[in-house]
Chain A
Amino acid sequence: MHEPLDTDVAIVGAGVVGCAIARELTRFDLRVTLLEAGPDVGAGTSKANTALLHTGFDAKPGTLEARLVPRGFQLLSDYARRVGIPVERTGALLVAWTEEQRREFPGIVERSRANGYGAIAELGVDELYRREPELGPGAVGALEVPDEALVCPFTTPLAYATEAVLAGCDLRRSTPVTAVERLETGGFRLATPTGAISARYLVNAAGLHSDELDRMLGHERFTVTPRRGELIVFDKLARPLVEHVVLAVPTKITKGVLIAPTVFGNVMLGPTAEDVERKDDTESSADGLAYLRAEGARIMPALLEHEVTAVYAGLRAATEHVDYQLGIHAPEGYACVAGIRSTGLSASMAIAEHVREQLGVAGLRLEPRTAGPPELRMPNIGERSERPYERGELIEADRDYGRIVCFCERVTRGEIRDALDGPLPAVDLDGLRRRTRAHMGRCQGFFCGAELADLLEARSG
């Protein structure tokens, strides 16, 4: 007799990719368990990146990444519209500052076309400065990528995970997987500090730690070498300075320092690219910040006159391989979803679709749920659509949407209550911040910090 298994599919890692896979699988009649080591979903690499929705124009042709990023762009663009994830299609301008960089243009255009993206086009210098008058002097040319967009990196994984939870996914936060063993009768047993979980299928979406989990299963294929990216977020008063995502001409090592608006109405400068030893080294550095400020002063001098709202650093889960490390071990039912360096947000839904198809080939029974997907509408935290404080009829119905608690970001008491009460409640200040924008603004809590601490304390106490 077989012991009954706890779940059909266990997904390890609730970053944007793990959450997308959980959402995809809960559309089918399956028991899905999503395990996250950290206190919340989307709270690792997924929260600290450049928050761009890429077309995939610059991927290396022929790779899985080059196939999944454009597909993910389409899927996420549609999904974002449907559930209310903030997206702004600003377009990108890839700027050359030297003739040498400009000589790269034909190659970039050719690669873009090979990736199926034909809307890329060269702009004259005059047109470039007409579009971005605050750009520093010395640009010699630009390529326009009209579909590159900004996306909310917080709402995206939250939307996936919320939909999955509403559809019955068993999400366990603060639950690190400490060991894995194969069961003789098929399937896996995952050890966690709060008990073991047995699963027929296992999906490794552990990001920075995906190589460790992979090794626990006896593989020796790749090593995650965390590559740190530091970013500076400027005050919203700087937002009128920049219209597009301003990209640099990429090198072999990095896509370079970019300047981009955010969906919250700030302006972002970064990232750096530095290989670090530790997988938890998300500290910003004096050298990194000095480098970014020097680059910023060159690309857009006026930006540097503005106040800095936030500084943060994130880690890309890079490996020694160029492409994603997506592999399925059909007989045993193990899917490895790793090496998704910096395009995970853009490609997440396509990766999920790909993994679901692969698991199907491996024998996972995929019967669509009879109930259909749950109705989902995420709270809007983007600047392009109406925020609750702007909606008179909403305030009329519930006065707490008129009570602004976080003044800098205009977050209301009603939104904070919703974030603490929702199907995927915030458990700490960082979770509250990613759900509502509270405490994310220029004062960093001078005005609302104590009030938020009190509200959180009341909830946990």
Chain B
Amino acid sequence: MSAGPVVIVGAGPAGLAAALELRRRGVADVLVLERESALGGIPRHAHHQGFGLRDLRRPLSGPSYARRYAQLAAAAGAELRTETMVTGWSPGGPLELTGPRGRERVDPAAVVLATGCRERPRSARLVPGSRPEGVITTGTLQQLVYLKGLAPGTRALVVGAEHVSFSALLTLAHGGARAVGMATELPRHQSLALFRAGAALRFRTPLWTRTAVTAIHGRPRVAEVELTDLDSGAVRSVECDTVVFSADWIPDHELAVMAGLAMDPGTRGPAVDAALRTSAPGVFAAGNLLHGAETADVAALGGRHAGAAAAAFLSGGGAWPDVRIPIGCEAPLRWIAPNVVVQGSGAPARGTFALRSAAFMQRPRVEIAQAGRTLWSGRLRRLVPGRSARLPHAWTATVDPGGGPASVRVSADG
């Protein structure tokens, strides 16, 4: 690594929090690159309240939260550059940047990847039918309504029933559209009872569980959506001019793949240890690139953690670990983050691992094992798809560096 700047890719909550932490720890040259025309990431267009509780210790709306972080990072002396995209990065090489200033190359002293995540679009979910206008994700919906002041449509079906799906109801209402229903393939919604009750009372939005979107029809705009009851097989259609595909997050991992980082098969983001180190020396990762999606404050706390780890690395904090024990997940578990154990890497961000399941489970027993040896086991209150359960980290000290991969599994009984 060179004497160049610490480059942070992405100026969402994780990237900006990492920049702040690096500056707080006295790192002089901190460069934040943002490909959008404004700083702040996803919260810029998430107008609901509740941002900033865990990191800034006060409740803010998304845009206020984004502005606050941008101000803090600028005041701390980080160089913040918008409209600048990392368009090339081969393993071990310089970062190639493209922006209105032209083409540049930067040799970084360290890199923090904070490129975030996005929702899987309709095509990636293989929903057949026509390809009309009006099929969007929550991300696009928010930007249409809050950043551009454009009407999203008049009658919308929301696909998914996570927190973000309920936020889509608010955005639709703000944009003058009616939500005709919410459809989820799961047996119940994955959000808070309060949000569900609010949706039922305030918008009278029905929630259709165990229901799959099996076709979209209409041209040039959506006219109707075919829904299939997964239990009875019954098919019916709903008239609407907008379909919002929500949640089903996937990390924006192109740059990580381009750089040749080892990837975690569960999260599909780079594999990291508790200090948020990737497989490449000097390259850290933070935020929803590692766990799509957590709330903004959780992403920011991860960014802060990565910033501290990068600062320690720059001040000669030991060699880059070469023994990395991966942690796998057995179905119905989907992923765990961090997902690599390195001896002496300390506690992860917030002192816990985040665990995701594809199925609802009440009082499940979770076991972490390596080569048949139980490292930790315990009972969780519950598992809800799309929401993280938190696991302690002390067991990582007992991992055998020569013992092969560890794995997490869950059982309902015993």
Contact = CB atoms under 8 A, between A and B. Distances in A.
A402 B133 contact: no
A446 B121 contact: yes
Contacts of A444: 121-124, 137
Interface residues of B, number: 43
Contacts, number: 117
Contact of A453 (B98, B144, B250): B144
A309 B118 contact: no
Contacts of A117: none
Contacts of A457: 148, 150
A139 to B, nearest CB: 27
Contacts of B257: 237
B128 A311 contact: yes
Nearest to B141: A450
A442 interface: yes
A289 interface: yes
Contact of A449 (B35, B126, B144, B252): B144
Contacts of B129: 283-284
Contact of A446 (B87, B102, B119, B219): B119
B128 A402 contact: no
Contact of B123 (A280, A310, A399, A450): A310
Nearest to A396: B102
Contact of B250 (A236, A307, A389, A449): A307
Nearest to A312: B131
Q: Which label, helix, strand, loop or mixed, suits the secondary structure of the B interface?
A: mixed
A138 B131 CA distance: 36
Interface stretch (A157-165, A211-219, A325-333, A403-411): A403-411
A267 B362 CA distance: 42
B83 A403 contact: yes
A237 B268 CA distance: 13
Given A280-B219, A282-B130, A443-B118, A402 B123 contact: no
A286 B148 CA distance: 35
A390 B98 contact: yes
Nearest to A444: B121
A395 interface: yes
Contacts of B37: 403
Interface string A36-63: 0000000000000000000000000000
B101 interface: yes
B1 interface: no
Nearest to B148: A454
Interface string A440-456: 00111111011101100
Contacts of A454: 148, 150
B35 to A, nearest CB: 6
A450 B123 CA distance: 18
Given A282-B130, A453-B148, A389 B87 contact: yes
Interface in B201-251: 214-215, 217, 219-220, 250
Nearest to A286: B128
Given A283-B129, A389-B98, A429-B133, A450 B144 contact: yes
Contacts of B55: none
Contacts of A284: 128-129
A402 B98 contact: yes
Given A237-B254, A307-B124, A403-B83, A449 B140 contact: yes
A84 interface: no
Nearest to B133: A429
Contact of B121 (A404, A410, A445, A453): A445
A402 B143 CA distance: 22
Given A396-B102, A402-B99, A453-B144, 7 more contacts: A282-B130, A402-B103, A404-B85, A429-B133, A442-B121, A445-B121, A446-B121
12 contacts: A237-B254, A283-B128, A307-B124, A308-B126, A400-B100, A403-B99, A407-B35, A408-B254, A410-B98, A443-B121, A445-B140, A449-B137
Interface of A: 236-237, 280, 282-286, 288-289, 307-312, 389-392, 395-396, 399-400, 402-404, 407-408, 410, 428-429, 442-447, 449-451, 453-454, 457
Q: Which 5 A-B pairs have the closest CB atoms?
A: A450-B143, A444-B121, A449-B140, A399-B100, A392-B103
